[in-house]
Amino acid sequence: MLLPAKAEVARQLRRYRAWERVMLAAPNDRTVRTTFEDSGYTLCVLMGKRCAREAADAAERYLRTNQVTSVQEQTQVAYAQDPQVAFAQESQATRLQEQNERPRPATAVRRRPPAAERRSPAGR
């Protein structure tokens, strides 16, 4: 089975969560609701799920397991070479696992100004 790129999954998951917060703040705004539903649909297609919540959960699991698994694989290789290095990497894997279990603070969504307001460097 082909798996999507982790960077794209992370980007779409952030987009979905951001629009979810906006939609919860303004549930009667049709534009916000439509954009939120579009972001959910994109996540569903990307993760191969029928429900946006299932897709978001699957995306979080996918990102969490790949990050921790790669560090654990590196630890096994390093342990065969140098036990002290392996211990340091093992503690890093533990920190990553604990970090993924904690809720993350909300990040601000950065948007570009509309195309009409952008200026080209040649127009100075």
Q: Is the pLDDT of residue 10 over 90?
A: yes
Its pTM stands at: 0.54
Average pLDDT, the chain: 76
Task: Write out pLDDT tens, residues 84-94.
Answer: 655 555 566 55
| pLDDT per position as a tens digit, 27-64 | 999 999 999 999 999 999 999 999 999 999 999 999 99
- pLDDT, greater one: 60 or 69: 60
Give the Å distances, CA to CA, from 11 to 17, 41, 60, 66, 118: 10, 14, 11, 16, 24
Please report where in the chains the tokens 């299932």 appear, as a residue: 54
Query: Alpha-carbon distance 21 to 13, whole Å?
Result: 12
- Distance, in Å, from the CA atom of 15 to the CA atom of 20, rounded to the nearest integer, reads 8
